[in-house]
Amino acid sequence: MSHMHVPLVLTDFLDRAVELYGEKIAVIDDVKRLTYKQLNGRVNQLSRGLRDFGVVKGDKVAYLAPNTTEMLEGFYGVYQLGGIMTPLNTRLKPADYQFILTHSESKVLFVDEELYPLVQPILNNVPQLEHVVIHGEERDGHLNYEEWRGAYSKEAFERETLEETDIASLLYTSGTTGDPKGVLLTHRSNYLHALSSMHHLRVSDQDTLLHVLPMFHVNGWGSPFYYTANGATQVMLRKVDPKVILEKVEKHGVSVMHMAPTVLNMLLEQYQLHKPTIEQNVRVVIAGSAPPPAFVRKVEEDLGWEFIQVYGMTEISPLITTSAIRSSELNRPKEEKYRLKSKAGYSMIGSKVKVVDELGEKVPANGKAIGEIVTRTNTIMEGYFKNPDATKQTIRNGWLHTGDMAVVDEDGYIEIVDRMKDVIISGGENISSIEVEGTLYEHPSVLEAAVIAVPHEKWGEVPHAVVVIREGHSLTEEQLIHFSKEKLANFKVPKGITFTKELPKTASGKIQKVVIRKDFWKDQDRMVH
């Protein structure tokens, strides 16, 4: 290494905000407002408290919290010591928390008072956990965060020396089967991801972000890093409630939000009902399964906002593609642009992304041939913590295998057709559940739809839809099947429809097809391809 080697370390981002935007509002958290200087003071207090707890470089510090100031400052407070930020999904069961806290060897747990009941029953069964601090009132002898932190100095903290290859975060992905896997990301991968994402999402110091997407989920898409680096104002949100979201967008002049398609759907509904007056330009960044083009049209025409689709996964820090319209496609008709915008898109800077068949060959760019998305990127994980087998399965020959199936169109835009396990194989034909859902969403009475494989004697499996109807609308199975037949090849049409009040979802708002499928595959094993 030359003597001028400057490691890419995430504390740089808050340092920059303090230096250039010290007096600017950094955080709006309901009634609390903090400048970047004040936020930094709190971060220094947190680091001092952690040092007193005996936290040293490489120790895991777990967080169980909604999107709050305490959660945001946790990243930087932990990093100053070279600790490893280990955020926990807020929607798990006590046994899951016991597994993750034990597997991660977490030394300290910070927990929001509202979520404390989720971990309270298991705290005595986690041997390595030495301290629990509550964001809120003291309980069971566990410290009150404000009082504990408040006892320390806000002055600059003497940091641990870090190399960019040091681990910054340990993120447990709720695999749909088996135990959660812990993804190890370095300072370098998070740092390079931030630089690439903030370019593609056009983040600037003019932005006000509303933290809709949970910061624990898929690394918060890296948002705690690149919005801080740009001195943007960050508005907190404890709970995903469409009414509250629109109120905050209006009240605080929010210019950008990240969210799952299901949350966007709730927002579109709420907007139609109440039509708030939102003057500013708003960008909504969506990831997860491809949203139907109808969503894009509604966002851009009904709301007048800008729709940006991205794609990624925890194992890659997470974002690697975007579908912003490129210069060569600008003159396309509007509907075609909406179609392009709803795809996963093309690679972001720093990532090579391709779609390959079983032999590892690129699939032809004809919008039909299905393959798996693989990537080679400088934001790739170090591996799964204490799980070399899963790491070897996922990273092969220098490429990370995502498990997402996709096609590539003539313009090189990647379009996800499904997770491997959600592709429906009916009589040897591959059916994309996402394509069928996209059709159902075109029906004016459909609020939400999930299409899954159900067992069938003749075809092995066939598509079945579980649908939530819009309030005040009525719809029959025959009507919806008839509607689908006019738009889809016969073998893709749902063979049955179940109406329900709500669909099961993960904490980040993704529909849990694995849960829905269980009811239909009670005694049989489904072959997962």
Tens digits of residue pLDDT in 424-468: 988 878 888 988 999 999 999 999 999 999 999 888 899 999 999
As beta bridge partners, residue 186 has: 167
Q: Please say whether the beta carbons of 92 and 174 come within 8 A.
A: yes
Domains annotated on the chain, with CATH: 11-186 (3.40.50.12780), 240-419 (3.40.50.12780), 424-520 (3.30.300.30)
Beta strands in 126-180 (DSSP E): 131-135, 143-144, 167-173
Q: For position 2, what pLDDT does the model report?
A: 64
Q: For 385-415, what is each residue's pLDDT tens digit?
A: 999 999 999 999 999 999 999 999 999 999 9
By the 10 Å C-beta count (0-12 exposed, 13-18 middle, 19+ buried), 520 is classed as middle
Weakest mean pLDDT among 84-93, 108-117, 229-238, 348-357:
84-93
Give the Cα separation of 269 and 439 in Å (integer). Answer: 18
Q: For 184-197, what is each residue's pLDDT tens digit?
A: 999 999 999 999 99
Sign of CA pseudo-dihedral 482, 483, 485, 486:
positive
pLDDT at 183 over 70: yes
pLDDT at 279 over 90: yes
When pLDDT is averaged across residues 155-169 and rounded to a whole number, the result is: 98
When pLDDT is averaged across residues 97-123 and rounded to a whole number, the result is: 98
When pLDDT is averaged across residues 138-147 and rounded to a whole number, the result is: 97
pLDDT at 131 over 90: yes
Q: For position 529, what pLDDT does the model report?
A: 47
Tell me what the pLDDT averaged over the chain comes to: 94
Q: How far is CA 440 from the centre of its chain?
A: 24
Q: Please say whether the beta carbons of 464 and 477 come within 8 A.
A: no
pLDDT band, residue 223 (cuts 50/70/90) = very high
179: left (phi > 0), else alpha (psi -120 to 50), else beta? beta
When pLDDT is averaged across residues 156-174 and rounded to a whole number, the result is: 96
Looking at the chain, the whole-number percentage of residues with pLDDT higher than 90 is 83
Nearest 5°: the CA angle 275, 502, 216 is 80
Closest CA to 155 of 51, 314, 41, 296: 41
Q: For 313-325, what is each residue's pLDDT tens digit?
A: 999 999 999 999 9
At which residue do the structure tokens 């680096």 appear? 229
Q: Please say whether the beta carbons of 227 and 476 come within 8 A.
A: no
pTM: 0.90
Looking at the chain, the whole-number percentage of residues with pLDDT higher than 70 is 97
When pLDDT is averaged across residues 81-89 and rounded to a whole number, the result is: 97
pLDDT at 11 over 70: yes
- Residue 426 amino acid letter: S
Q: Please say whether the beta carbons of 209 and 223 come within 8 A.
A: yes
